[in-house]
Amino acid sequence: MASDKPTRRRNYSDALKAQVMAECEVPGTSVAKVALAHGINANVVHRWRQIQREGKPSLPTLSSGFVPVSLASAPVPSESVASADIRVELRRGAIAMTIKWPTSAAAEFAAWTRELLR
């Protein structure tokens, strides 16, 4: 009993084909494993490789070059920011206290705070 539905072929993007082909070129890589990872039948990938070996221009190539990126230089913190103090205000009932601690000794401040809150 044959189905009356026409079979429909999947279309894969050029970018996906190029990525799959590039992954298959890695030494020791299984074509079937790469195909399975992308949800593609291994026979389809083998066909793409055959087309590529025959030199037919139907498959895209993935450029492995770098894309130049311009990065702005990181802002240098001013001395006032680097020498800022840690400032904490504690209030308990009628008592209020402000504690200033140098940021260069932040680890000691953390230890002191842990002891205070015990």
Residue 112 covered by a domain: yes
Question: How crowded is residue 90: how many other Cβ atoms within 10 Å of its Cβ?
Answer: 11
Q: Domain count for the chain, please give it.
A: 2
Instruction: Quickly list H helices, the chain.
Output: 14-24, 31-37, 42-53, 79-82, 106-116
Residue 73 covered by a domain: no
Residue 38 covered by a domain: yes
Q: What is the pLDDT of residue 60?
A: 55
Residue 49 covered by a domain: yes
> Which range of residues forms the domain containing residue 35?
14-53
Residue 63 covered by a domain: no
50 or 78: whose pLDDT is higher?
50
Q: What is the pLDDT of residue 117?
A: 77
Residue type, 30: S
Q: How do residues 64-76 score in pLDDT, each as one tens digit?
A: 566 677 777 777 6
How far, CA to CA in Å, does 104 sit from each of 75, 87, 112, 117?
20, 13, 14, 22
State how far the Cα of 118 lies from the Cα of 109, in Å rounded to an integer. 14
**Which residues, in sequence order, are bridge partners of residue 101?**
86
Residue 64 covered by a domain: no
Q: How do residues 6-29 score in pLDDT, each as one tens digit?
A: 777 788 888 889 889 888 888 888
Tokens of 83: 């020498």
Residue 67 covered by a domain: no
